[in-house]
C-alpha cells in the first residue's frame, strides 16, 4: 500500500513534464495521443515489474511463506497489479487535472479512503453496512483479499480462537474477515479491471483534454 502510494506520487511530476512536451510535439504533427499514452504505460509497466520482483523476493522471504512456485506466483501477481494500478492511478490524475499539484491533492483525498476501507484497519465484516459497498470500490481491499486468500486461504490446520471452538484457518478467514478461497478467481479479474479502467481513463485524458496555456 505505502510503496504503491509512493509510486503514485513519484510518477505525477514526470508525467506532467512529459505532457507539456507532448503538447508541443502533437501540435507539430509528430505524436498521436493514443500511441503516446500506451507507450508511456508500457514503459512504466516494465519498471514496475522489475521493482515488484525485487520487492517480492525480499518481502516473501522475510514473512516466511513456504517457497512454492504457485504461492510465490500469486504473491508476485497481486503485488505487481497493486503497483501497476497505483502507478496508473497517478498518471490518470495528471491527465485529468491541469497540473501535478492539483493531481497530488486529489490523490491524497482518495488514497485515504482506499486505505480506510481496505479492510486493513477495519475488517469488512465490521464496517457499517451502509459503508460496506465502498470496500468493494477500494482496489487495495482486493489486493489484501488476494494476498491473504492465496497464501493461507486454503489451509485446513486448526487455530485456537479465544472463547470459541477450534476452527480451521480457512473457516476463520471466512467467518471473521469474509475471505473465501473460492472467490480468488474474481479477485484476479478485479485487478485486471482496475488496471484497464485507469489505463483507458488516462488515455482518454491525454487524447481529449488539453490544459495548455498560451
Q: Give pLDDT, residue 214.
A: 56
Pull the grid cell for residue 207.
487524447
| Beta carbons within 10 angstroms of residue 77's beta carbon | 17
DSSP 26-41: HHTT---HHHHHHHHH
pLDDT band at 66 (very low <50, low <70, confident <90, very high): confident
Report yes or no on 94 lying in a domain: yes
Q: How many domains does the chain have?
A: 1
Report yes or no on 109 lying in a domain: yes
Instruction: State mean pLDDT over 54-63.
Output: 94
- Whole-model pTM: value is 0.92
Instruction: State mean pLDDT over 145-170.
Output: 87
Report yes or no on 213 lying in a domain: no
| In the predicted structure, residue 93 carries a pLDDT above the cut 60 | yes
Query: What tens digit of pLDDT does each residue of 114-142 get?
Result: 999 999 999 998 999 989 999 999 999 99
Report yes or no on 27 lying in a domain: yes
Report yes or no on 131 lying in a domain: yes
Query: What tens digit of pLDDT does each residue of 67-80 get?
Result: 999 999 999 999 99
Mean residue pLDDT across the chain: 91
The domain in which residue 122 lies consists of 2-208
Query: What tens digit of pLDDT does each residue of 4-31 get?
Result: 889 999 999 999 998 888 888 877 777 7
- Provide CB contacts within 8 A for 60, sequence distance 6+: 72, 75
Distances (CA, A) of 174 to 31, 125, 169, 178, 207: 51, 10, 9, 4, 44
Q: Give pLDDT, residue 146.
A: 96
Report yes or no on 214 lying in a domain: no
Report yes or no on 145 lying in a domain: yes
* Whether the Cβ atoms of residue 152 and residue 76 lie closer than 8 Å to each other: no
Amino acid at each position: 500500500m505505502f510503496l504503491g502510494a509512493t509510486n503514485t506520487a513519484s510518477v505525477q511530476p514526470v508525467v506532467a513534464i512529459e505532457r507539456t512536451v507532448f503538447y508541443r510535439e502533437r501540435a507539430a504533427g509528430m505524436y498521436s495521443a493514443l500511441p503516446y499514452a500506451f507507450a508511456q504505460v508500457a514503459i512504466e509497466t516494465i519498471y514496475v515489474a522489475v521493482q515488484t520482483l525485487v520487492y517480492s523476493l525480499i518481502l516473501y522471504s522475510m514473512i516466511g511463506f513456504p517457497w512454492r512456485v504457485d504461492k510465490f506466483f500469486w504473491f508476485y501477481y497481486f503485488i505487481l497489479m497493486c503497483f501497476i494500478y497505483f502507478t496508473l492511478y497517478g498518471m490518470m490524475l495528471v491527465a485529468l487535472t491541469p497540473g501535478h499539484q492539483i493531481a497530488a491533492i486529489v490523490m491524497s483525498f482518495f488514497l485515504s479512503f482506499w486505505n480506510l476501507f481496505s479492510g486493513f484497519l477495519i475488517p469488512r465484516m465490521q464496517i457499517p453496512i451502509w459503508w460496506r459497498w465502498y470496500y468493494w470500490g477500494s482496489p487495495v481491499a482486493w489486493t489484501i483479499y488476494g494476498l491473504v486468500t492465496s497464501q493461507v486461504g486454503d489451509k485446513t490446520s486448526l487455530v485456537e480462537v479465544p472463547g470459541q471452538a477450534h476452527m480451521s484457518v480457512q473457516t476463520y478467514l471466512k467467518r471473521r474477515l469474509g475471505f473465501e478461497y473460492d472467490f480468488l478467481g474474481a479477485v484476479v479479474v478485479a485487478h485486471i479491471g482496475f488496471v484497464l479502467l485507469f489505463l483507458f481513463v488516462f488515455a482518454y485524458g491525454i487524447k481529449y483534454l488539453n490544459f495548455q496555456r498560451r
